Structure formats: C-alpha cells, structure tokens
Structure 1
Amino acid sequence: MAAPYTLRWGIISTGWISTEFTEDLLVDPATRNVNDVAHVVEAVGSRSLESAQKFIDKLKAAPEPYAWGVARGALDKTKARASYQEVYDDPDVDVVYIGTPVTHHHKDAKAALLAGKHVVCEKPFTFDLAELDELIAIAREKKLFLMEAVWTRFHPISYAVQDVLASGVLGRPRRYAADFSKDFKLETKPISHRLLAPELGGGGLLDMGPYPSVWAMLTLHQHPLNTKRTPPKVVNTYQTIYSRTGVDARSRWVLEFEELGAEGILMTDMLCQNFKEGAVVLQCEEGDLVIESPPQKPGVFHIVPHEEVDGVKERSTHDYTIPAAQGHGLAFEADAVARCIRDGQTECPRMPLDESRIVQSWFDAVRKNGRTVMRDMEGTAGK
C-alpha cells in the first residue's frame, strides 16, 4: 500500500474553532476508515509569539483521541509565528486554515492567496458577496485551492440523507423548515463579544445562518429533481434587533425553489433553543425527512409517514452519530481538502464555490433588508 499523502497545514488564529479544527487533524485517520491522506501542522500564527506557542503547547498536552497524532509527530515541526503573514510566507505550509472572525476572513484569506497558499476559510466565507467574489477571482487567477469550511457537508449523515432523497422514496419536495436557535444568555455577555459586536460580524445571521442554509443546499438545491440548479429566490426576510448593540437577535428568510415548486423558511435565533427533534424538516409528497438537533452536527434523522396518505408506510430512524474516537467531526472536511490538493483540484466538488456564492447572497439580502446597524456596512473588497 502506498504511503498516504500528507497535507501540511498553517493555522491562523488560536480561538476555539481553530483549536477544535487543529485537534481533529491529530486524530487517527483509521478511526474514520481513511488511509490515503494524513495531516501535519507546520505553523500556527497569532498576534503574539506567546499566544501561538501557548496554542501549540496545549495541543501537545491534549488527551486521546488527539494524543495519537502528537505521539506520531504531527506537531514535531510546528512553528509558532508572531504574525499571520509569517505563516503565509512559510515554504513548508501547503494550505492555510482561516479561523478569524468573519469580518477578518476576506483580508486574511486574500493575504494567504496572494502569498501563493491554498486556503480553507471558516464559515460564513466572508462578510458580503463582493469580498467572496474577489477571493474567487484571485484563487482562479493563481490556480489555488479555495474552500469554505462547511464541515456539515462532509459528515456521514449528510451523504445518507442525500441517498434517501436520490432513492425517490419520499417523492417531490414540497416544504422545508430549518432552525438553528440557542439561548446564548446575551445579557450576561459583554458588548465586545463576537456574537454582539457589529465590527466582528455579530448577530445570529452570520454566526448561525450557515447551518439552516447548508441543509437547504443539500436537500433542495442539490435534489435530483432540481436539475437546472437555478439559485432559489429570497422572497421574504425579517430581523429582530438586539437593542444593546443593534445586531440581529433573530433572523428569518423564505426561499422559493421554482423548479421544485417548493418553499423553505430558514431561521436563526440567539434568544431561545430550537426544537430538538425537528431542527430540519423536509416535507415531501410521500413522507417527511426530519433531522434532529443540533443542525451543525446532527447524528440522527427520521423518515416519517404522512397521515392518511399513500407513500412511506413506517417510521424509521437512522443514526450516524460521530463517535468520540473521531474527535469533533472536523477531520472529514480536512480529508476532502487533502484529496483535492493532492489531485490538483482548485475547488472541492462537495463544497463548490458557486454554492458558497448562493448562500452568501442570502445573507446579503437578509442583512440589507433588515434594520440592524450592519445593514449598510461594507466589506473590504478592493482594499
């Protein structure tokens, strides 16, 4: 058997999402039946050398399943860097993972691309569509890999849900509802918190919106009957304002998938919890598909028959919970990135840039139609 292709990562920012992503790079690939790719961390960039080194030291002391990679040298050559640019300029780094706040994504990803590095950027990809289009143009000009890190797309449950839809057992989709809500106890947080600060892209729309959106893309936009793949129309939007900082506490938007004859309502809420047993519901002619919470990392979905309608006869439950031995669940996307870069691809078929553009356009529409202090904010495209 040939040795696995090893992808060399540079990590930008040392917050919680960067921590979890990097930890998952250290998990034994065999736990997820992977033997063709592997990962090492070459550099970590922060605003100070001390912060970067502290991040690395914490990783080296991590328990199982992350200790597996530490024991096998995944952090042996990891360099602490006192600036992001030092990571971009590191010749040992193949790809840069961007884990900074959303309002920093564009400038950080742009700098990495201009330095000749492949880029994986946390969701939401950018603050607005103009920023994203500039990144795509640079990546295509330089023939570099660029992807939004929507980890949910790569989880086993996502493929299983799509297999059910492809089988035709549920028939044509009719109605969709997806909700990512969580009571963040906002009154206990300082106004500088990332969820509340406009300058950090605060509010539920950008922080939470990717998750009801990803299931709309996987179940409706990519539905086998949606052959034209025409982007759905945003036909209605509404936002509730959080008075302390003027960001959105709640956001709603309605999509129309014209070819399918289906509509979907997508919701984010920072003031209450979403319904556990039905965070995502796709209602179809012959039965319903119901995905349990949390929508970002669900483990269970159900096929539910309709009352007094021919079609699905029995309720069934399907469990694809990611076991603790596989870490947080972020390594699936990292493996996909490694394969793409190994094979010379500049775009991931599972997370195409055109689909990132569609979702980003939804966020722009909701924000610009709303009344938050971010309504007229502009990104840093062209700057």
Structure 2
Amino acid sequence: MASTTPSTLRWGIIATGGISTRFSEDLLVDPSTRDVSDVTHKITAVGSRSVAGAQKFIDKLKASEGVSAWGVKNGVLDDAKPCGSYDDVFADANVDAVYIGTPHTFHHANAKAALLAGKHVLCEKPFTFDLAELDELIAIAKEKKVFLMEAVWTRFHPIAYAVQDVLKSGKLGQVKRMFADFSMNFEPDTRPDDNRMIDPEQGGGSLLDQGPYPSVWCMLALHQHPDNKDKDPQVVSSYQRIYERSGVDAMSHWIVEWKGFAEARCLTDMTASGLSEATAVITCQEADLVIDYPPWRPESFSIVPHSGGEPGSIKEKTTFKHTVHAGGGMHYEADEVARCIRDGKLESSRMPLSESRVTQGWLDAVRKQGNTVLKDRKSTAGN
C-alpha cells in the first residue's frame, strides 16, 4: 500500500529581498488550501550577508499573518537556522533544496556553488545572465545528479493549464500568431542608481527583468502546442531603446519564429503601462484567446470573436476565471520541486531545462543585437 505520509522538502533560502520573502511566505501556506496532500515544506536555513540579517528575515516570517500564519503555527520555521553566508546554507546537512533569490547577475555563481555542494536548486528567472552560464549549471547538475529548475512560477498556475487545454482542444482552430507584453511604468527617473532596474551590475533594464514573462506565454501557447515541430525557435528581429541614464534598455521588442507553425512578438517596457485586458493575445483561426494583465499572475482569459467581417466560427465573447489558491502563487512551483525530488527526477517535465535554454537564448540574442551597456558583458561561465 502506498504511503499516505506527505514528503517534506527542507529548503534553504538564498538572499532576503522581496522575491525571497514572497517565496518563503508561500511555503508557510497550508498545502490543503490548494488541494495538496502529498508534499509539504520546511525552511531550515536562510542565507544573508550576516547572521543578524538572516535572523531578521526569519523573525519577519514568524510574524506572518493571514494565510502564511498557518506555517508558523505548524512548525515550518521551527528549525530555521540563520546563516551569515550562502556557503553555510550550502553546507547545511538539513537543507535538501536551495532557492536562489539574488539579482540575476549573481544567479550563476550562487546556483553553481549550491550544485557543487550537492544541493537541489530552484533558481529565479532569468535563470542566468547568458546561455553559457546556464549550460555550465546544467552540466554540473547532471554530473552531481541533482535537480535543477528555473523558477517560472506562472507555468504552474491554474490559468496556465486552462489556456493550454483550450488551445490543444482545437476549438479555436489553427494558431496563427501571438503578441505578448510586459509593460509597466516603473518611473525609472525616480529610482536610485543602485535600483535593480537601473543598475547594469544587477542586470538592469526591462529585458532581463521582464522578458521571462512574455516568453513564458509564448512557450506555453506556441512552443508546447502539439502542432509545433520546431524545438529551436529563433529571434528573427529585435530592437532596444536605451535608458540613457545608465545605458540599460528601457524597452525591448523582439520577434520569434517557429518555422512552419507561428510567430510571436514580444515586448518589455519599464517606462509605460501595459494593456489591462490584453497582456497576451493568441490569434487563432476561429477566434482570439486574450489573457488579462498581469503576465506574471493573470487570473482570467477570454475567447474573443474576430472583428466584424472577419471569418471565424465563434460569435460571442466568453471569459474564464482561474484564480490562484490561497497565497501568492509561488507554492505551486515549490510543490513541483518537492514532487520531482521525491520521485528522483533531475528536472521537471513542466519546466524542462531544454525550454529554459530556448528562452535564455532569446534574451541573449536581443541583448547582443542591441546597444546597451550589457551588450558585451562578459559571461561568468567557467569562473
């Protein structure tokens, strides 16, 4: 008889900024609120630049209210150890998997150190600064026989599966093309020089920070579509507008082609707002599938008839809502990691390393074809 005891994954958290806070708070949410009973999570170590900084992060989590209070009361933080360095987390025998929440120019070094220490790794997006760094991480993970995944949380949201089900059902007919946008007015002129969106040393600009989000919808809608046979889609055109103050990109636009199938136009912009009802539009033979803003966590999409006079069998707009369960939405990817590690898998079939390589390649192409200060930044691969 199969065991009914849930498998518990022990996490080490690297960095104590906003993204690490949100991920950790989601680990504190009762899994039953998202109908999960086979896996659970514990935070057993937190790495910061000082023990005091790590302890402050843990204390803040212990003061959590709302849905995250469940984890505080049920022991998720009971064994959480504050560490004054990331290496102390990697060396901790009570840590199974490491979550990397540092700025993306540090992902490669941090993930590499964790992998070399034999830890499973979930690394925030973009996975690395460039493809060479990612390929080195993949090689190390395979050599060490440990799990590695990019933290593209949107892939695991209920709406992501629902959108794919509609497209794969055939009710919308042949997919023609799509547009995916992540625009948000960050008001960069009001930000300090060391802000992550401004600072080149942190990989600033819209492309690396925002680019994974239009990319994820392209991958879900086009790349994973059963009619697509092109597993290596390429950027065929791109443009970047420079943010003159620091030389990073204020806006990036690129076109990707899946030969013999469809194309996608992707846009990132940190100086203008995006359309609230059309963060992604997938144009199909019978109607359009339109996903609402924000691209990182939409909760509704619509099937929209083509405009008057255009062919298409669908005549009325229908809207579908798929809300994120209690919490912020990062718990789904954490559950995926826990299941994969429990089952002895070295990568996720939902977020395979091959697909991270595809999107990392797009970011490389756009950056190298542009004229930002990051265009010729040296890779840290091999260091």
- 1:313 shift after superposition: 2.9
2:166 alignment counterpart = 164
Q: Deviations over 1:306-350 (max 9, x none)?
A: 233232232110001225xx1110000000110000000000000
- 1:259 shift after superposition: 2.4
Preserved contact between residue 14 and residue 46 of structure 2 (Cα < 8 Å): yes
| Ranges of 4+ aligned residues in structure 1 off by more than 6 Å | none
SS in 2 for 1:254: strand
Is it true that 1:378 corresponds to 2:375 in the alignment?
Answer: no
Q: Distance in 1 between matches of 2:19 and 2:67?
A: 17
Is it true that 1:251 corresponds to 2:252 in the alignment?
Answer: yes
Amino acid at match of 1:110: K
Select which of 82, 85, 99 maps to 1:83.
Answer: 85
Query: Identity of counterpart residues, as a percentage?
Result: 61
Q: Distance in 1 between matches of 2:87 and 2:338?
A: 22
Preserved contact between residue 222 and residue 229 of structure 1 (Cα < 8 Å): no
1:349 alignment counterpart = 349
1:239 alignment counterpart = 240
Matches within 5 A, 1:1-383: 2-226=4-228, 228-260=229-261, 262-306=262-306, 307-308=308-309, 309-323=311-325, 326-383=326-383
Q: Distance in 2 between matches of 1:2 and 1:253?
A: 48
Q: Distance in 2 between matches of 1:286 and 1:62?
A: 47
- 1:160 shift after superposition: 0.2
Amino acid at match of 1:266: C
SS in 2 for 1:322: coil
Amino acid at match of 2:279: A
Q: Distance in 1 between matches of 2:230 and 2:19?
A: 32
Q: Deviations over 1:70-106 (max 9, x none)?
A: 1000000100000000000000100000000000000
- 1:176 shift after superposition: 0.6
Q: Distance in 2 between matches of 1:95 and 1:379?
A: 25
Q: Distance in 2 between matches of 1:310 and 1:144?
A: 48
SS in 2 for 1:66: helix
The TM-score, its normalising length taken from structure 1, stands at 0.98
Q: Distance in 1 between matches of 2:39 and 2:187?
A: 41
* Structure 1, gaps ≥5 residues long: none
Preserved contact between residue 128 and residue 378 of structure 1 (Cα < 8 Å): no
Amino acid at match of 1:17: I
**Root mean square deviation of aligned Cα:** 0.8
The TM-score, its normalising length taken from structure 2, stands at 0.98
Amino acid at match of 1:13: A
* Structure 2, gaps ≥5 residues long: none
Q: Across the two proteins, how many residue pairs are aligned to each other?
A: 379
Preserved contact between residue 103 and residue 379 of structure 1 (Cα < 8 Å): no
Q: Deviations over 1:203-225 (max 9, x none)?
A: 00000000000000000001111
Amino acid at match of 2:344: G
Q: Distance in 1 between matches of 2:312 and 2:55?
A: 62
Amino acid at match of 1:242: Y
Q: Distance in 2 between matches of 1:78 and 1:224?
A: 44
- 1:229 shift after superposition: 3.8
